[in-house]
Amino acid sequence: MAIGVAFLLGAVILYVAGADPIVAYYWLFHGAFSEVSFSETLVRATPLLFISLGLAVTFTARVWNIGAEGQFYIGATFAAILGLYLKDAPHPFGLIILLLASVAGGVAWAFLPAILRAYYGINEIITTLMFNYIAIYTVSYLLHNPFREPASMFPETTTLPEQLWMPIVIPGTRLHAGILLAFISIPFLYFVLRKTAFGMKIEILGSSRRTAEYAGIDAARLIIQSMLISGMFAGLAGGIEVLGIQHKMRLEISPSISPYGYTAIAVTLLGYLNPILVAATSIFLGGVINGSMTMHRMANVPVGMAGIFQALIIIFIMVGYYLEDKFANKLLERLNLW
């Protein structure tokens, strides 16, 4: 329902900008979900999915990792740079090593904010955000100087040899094996969060740190673990993007209209931290991103719409939750009067 309202508002904005909403929406959906473009949608959704799944873990613990973007970049960069040294590694070993490297990158980047939060209670929103900026500048420096591909006009690394690429799953498309990994992760994470002791610990921590301590949980360690998990996923997403799509590292690897790291935050919240819903949402939003590009080409609508949509959706969904919560409270009040 909230999505419906967001679309309505979007239509209004479109209209104001001088575009025909109906035409625009047609291209939006066509661009997102037609047979031709569905694979592209999945391509877009892959990194989103990974990052959001990881965020689902930290957000359940109420640890707000805003640094997914930075972790994504660092993971991607690790993979791209290490790949330059593994030119002769056979397939698939080189690939696997690089994926692990990207995981390491994401984890390393999440490490310091995690410690600051776990042991010093320093607000992780600000620290992770600062690290995002630091990450982008660091990567920019690396791409301009030491690792720059001399032959290219743009700051980027050398293209990696084919044996280091992710295999394509559906021939004729760009859809690579990353999507399979993603699909495996979904039930895995669902299982971990809902059905294991670890998941319960995270839930308890999310309830309150003091309760967690009472329950005998090492809160500091758990905070770090959850941050590292989301760092892991974000880094992996970066590695997959480099190895599966770009085959090198550029600064534009995260779409500027809807940066993966930040969009994933929206996806996780929209999916109510539930891995399955989160997965569905990431596909949906992947579609929106692609669709808005198509919309832009064919119906002359600006590309910035995606960002607006997202934010509108988040706000309306939150309002929706509030109303639901109020409704549930009233219901339970009636139940309690017995």
Partner 1 sequence: MAVDSADFTVKVGEVHALLGENGAGKTTLMKIMSGCLRPSSGTIYVDGKRVEFKTPADAMQHGIGMLHQQFTLIPTMTVLENIKLGLIGQRSKIGNLSEEIDRLFRILRLNVDLESTVDTLSVGEKQKVEILRIMLRKARILIFDEPTSAICGPDIDNFLQILRELSSNGYGVVFITHKIREATKVSDRITVMRKGKVVSTLKKEEIIDERMLLEMMLGECFQPELVKEKPRKNKLPLLTVMNLMVKNDQGVIKVNNASFEVYRGEILGLIGVEGSGQKELVEAITGLRKPVSGSITFYCNSSVKPGYIPEERFEMGVAQSLSVMKNAVLRDFECKEFMGRYGRLNFVRIEEFARRIVQLMGVKTPNLRIPVKYLSGGNIQKLIVGRELVRKSELLIAEQPTAGLDARSSYFVRKMLVDLALNGIGILLVSSDIDEVLEVSDRIAVIRDGKIVKIFNKDEAEPKKIGMYMLAAEVSQPSQ
Partner 2 sequence: MVTELISGAIYSSITLLTPLLLVGLAELLVERSGILNLNVEGSMLIGAFTAFMVAYYTQDLGIATLSAALAGVIMCMLFSILTVSLSLDQMVTGLAMNILTIGITSYLYRASFGWYVSPIPPHIKETIKPIGIPVLSEIPFIGDILFKHMPHTYVAVILAFMAWWVLFKTDWGLRIRAIGEDPQVADYLGINVNSTRYILLFIEGVVVGIAGSLLSIAYYNMFLDNMTQGRGYIAIALVILARWNPLLLLAGSFLFSLIDAIQLRIMALGLTAFPSQLSLMLPYLVTIIILLVAGRKAKGPAALAKPFKKTR
Q: By CB under 8 A, name the binding residues for partner 2.
A: 13, 17, 64, 66, 112, 116, 120-123, 125-127, 129-131, 133-134, 137-138, 140-141, 144-145, 256-257, 262, 265-266, 269, 296, 302-312, 314-315, 318-319, 322
Closer to partner 2 at the Cβ: 137 or 188? Answer: 137
Chain residues 42-71 in contact with partner 1, contact rule CB under 8 A: none
Closer to partner 2 at the Cβ: 87 or 144? Answer: 144
From the list partner 2, partner 1, none, which binds 311 (C-beta under 5 to 8 Å, kind-based)?
A: partner 2
Residue 200 binds to partner 1 (criterion: CB under 8 A): yes
Binding string to partner 1 for residues 205 to 224, with x set by CB under 8 A, is what? -xxx-xxxxxxx--------
C-alpha closest to that of 56 among 257, 234, 223, 275:
275
If you count them, how many residues does the chain have? 338
Going by C-beta distance under 8 Å and a sequence separation of 6 or more, which residues neighbour residue 76? Answer: 102, 105, 238, 239, 241, 242, 249, 253
Going 80 to 85 to 88 to 89, the CA torsion angle's sign is negative
Give the start-end residues of each E strand in 204-265.
Answer: none
Residue 275 binds to partner 1 (criterion: CB under 8 A): no
* Cα angle 207-53-238, degrees, rounded to a multiple of 5: 135
CB of 76 vs partner 1, minimal distance in Å: 31
At position 99, the amino acid (one-letter code) is: L
C-alpha closest to that of 305 among 28, 22, 105:
28
Residue 120 binds to partner 1 (criterion: CB under 8 A): no
Closer to partner 1 at the Cβ: 96 or 332? Answer: 332
Q: Which of 120, 151, 162, 336 is in the footprint of partner 1 by CB under 8 A? A: 336
Q: Is the link from the previous residue into 92 a cis peptide, with omega within 30 of 0?
A: yes
From the list partner 1, partner 2, none, which binds 335 (C-beta under 5 to 8 Å, kind-based)?
A: partner 1
Whole-angstrom distance, CA of residue 154 vs CA of residue 234: 25
